[in-house]
A and B are shown apart, each in its own frame.
Chain A
């Protein structure tokens, strides 16, 4: 094979792939960025609308922004939304942080027991947990609501607690909500941790067993340290789930007026007045409610995606 023919072959290949590159790439990039616009458009509309006065909301096109130096710009909608929602946002954090943390710890422990310890019936427990990840919550909300309101009203049962500083009787419903969140979070979080624990290197665990470490020590010394990335995935994924959830607060707290209502529940009753719906206020409120999850998502979207696909190698 002469060097000239090699050269020609390489050259033809290069020019061909170059042409291929421009045509295909152009198409792919055009589609990809058109889709970016489509996916972000509803949110852009919401942001633009949230900075408009009520007259500007009806007087300008919904996706055309009004800038601070123009007529019709206002921060009042955000201010009002913040006034209405600040208590709800605090409640949402009070709800989501303990619920997420406890669920993550319990899920990790359960997954450890299912994957690293041999015991009878673990397949049955696993099946119960996997199935429970799919159940529609509607199938359980009537008993759940009645359990917390009629049979176990925590407000009455935890009377001692309300004497403590910062705790009020209405926090009983918040605790009921957190316990429910934990119970309904355990299946999916356990499945996530289980997927991760199935992939870990067994040599370390075996070595520790030979050294005589018991199962508690193995969890504490080996499993827990290597679970850190999975804890991050679970925190991010489950925090978002709990923060966004609406049905549980609705049935346990029954209305947006409840002093322990999380932001999603408060948002449900925002912006409706006698003069019709104030869309600027509603958009500001919706964005404010979404803000913590959006920040989490932008900072750690890859972990959120891993939570969706079952973790695997976190």
Chain B
């Protein structure tokens, strides 16, 4: 590189000029002066988030378990091979995808319906929004307990209602076929208000003229929403979808609360619960770390296209 620049005078001069600019910039000290503002927080993020994720990957290559420290002598992908032949893990992966898709779609549809409802000329809109959003402000450890009671076989609300219309009680918690759907409904209850708020912000950004123009042209209200408004909510939908999907990947608190232990009922095990259980209950650190890497890779697959797109359109 240096040799090349020696032969190309123009480039060298340019380089010197560039260096001078750079030195002047340094003497103006904007970078150095900016350091006190961001160095500590960014170092914390670098150490505890990025550093931890990298370290987690390294741990997943060891065979660390139980108490004591890891040996980094032989690093290999044994834990990932083990994951491939772990039927419980494959089942958890399958559940994770079902939860991710069903939960996200449900929230996106219900949230849109709520947002359009609150977009109408309706009194005490603010209060309604607060009520719909209330579940989202609660801890999952709290709502998990509440839904466990609602789904109780003998005395819970659901079976009281089915009994009232003459149906036999439904086994929800103990039935592997029902439990995941029950979890999805409970989580959708909590996240619909969140999705609604994201849509409402998008709705507010649409100029009223679009709506007025379509109305003057004689379009029916539902057609205006379908043809004019909803297509303009794509950006809101994308950002809500990303958040919802990433949440679905990592949801652990709710399932822990519902079942009061590391192991959810049969049928509700997902990668997030499996990961925490392997690491913190069985002390299979390396295996837990490997599952965490899988989770992280899935999350990256969801968020990187989104962030790349936002970066390209300068919306970051």
Contact = CB atoms under 8 A, between A and B. Distances in A.
A140 B316 CA distance: 25
A46 interface: yes
B292 A302 contact: no
Closest 4 CB pairs of A and B: A244-B139, A183-B48, A140-B52, A113-B37
B194 interface: yes
B145 A128 contact: no
B139 A283 contact: no
A112 B34 CA distance: 9
A183 B49 contact: yes
Interface in B265-315: 272, 275-276, 279-280, 285, 288-289, 291-293, 295-296, 299, 302-303, 307, 311
Contacts of B246: 134, 136
Interface in B146-189: 146-150, 152, 154-157, 160, 189
8 contacts: A43-B134, A62-B157, A134-B302, A146-B59, A246-B139, A264-B141, A287-B142, A294-B134
A140 B45 CA distance: 12
B41 A36 contact: no
Interface of B: 30-31, 33-34, 36-38, 40-42, 44-53, 55-56, 59, 69, 114, 117-118, 120, 122, 126, 128-143, 145-150, 152, 154-157, 160, 189, 193-194, 197-198, 200-201, 242-243, 246, 249-250, 252-253, 256-257, 260, 272, 275-276, 279-280, 285, 288-289, 291-293, 295-296, 299, 302-303, 307, 311, 316
Nearest to B28: A118
Given A28-B117, A42-B150, A141 B44 contact: no
Contacts of A131: 303, 307
A68 interface: no
A interface: dominant SS:
helix
B53 A139 contact: yes
Contact of A244 (B69, B138, B154): B138
Contacts of A264: 139, 141-142, 253
Given A125-B42, A279-B152, A132 B50 contact: yes
Given A46-B149, A143-B59, 4 more contacts: A28-B122, A32-B128, A286-B143, A296-B137
Interface residues of A, number: 106
Interface of A: 24-25, 28-29, 31-32, 35-36, 39-43, 45-46, 49, 57-58, 61-63, 106-107, 109-110, 112-114, 117-122, 125-132, 134-147, 150, 179-180, 182-184, 186-187, 190, 214-216, 219, 240, 243-247, 250-251, 254, 264, 267-269, 271-272, 277, 279, 282-283, 285-287, 289-290, 293-294, 296-298, 301-302, 304-305, 308-310, 312
A112 B41 CA distance: 12
Contacts of B160: 61-63
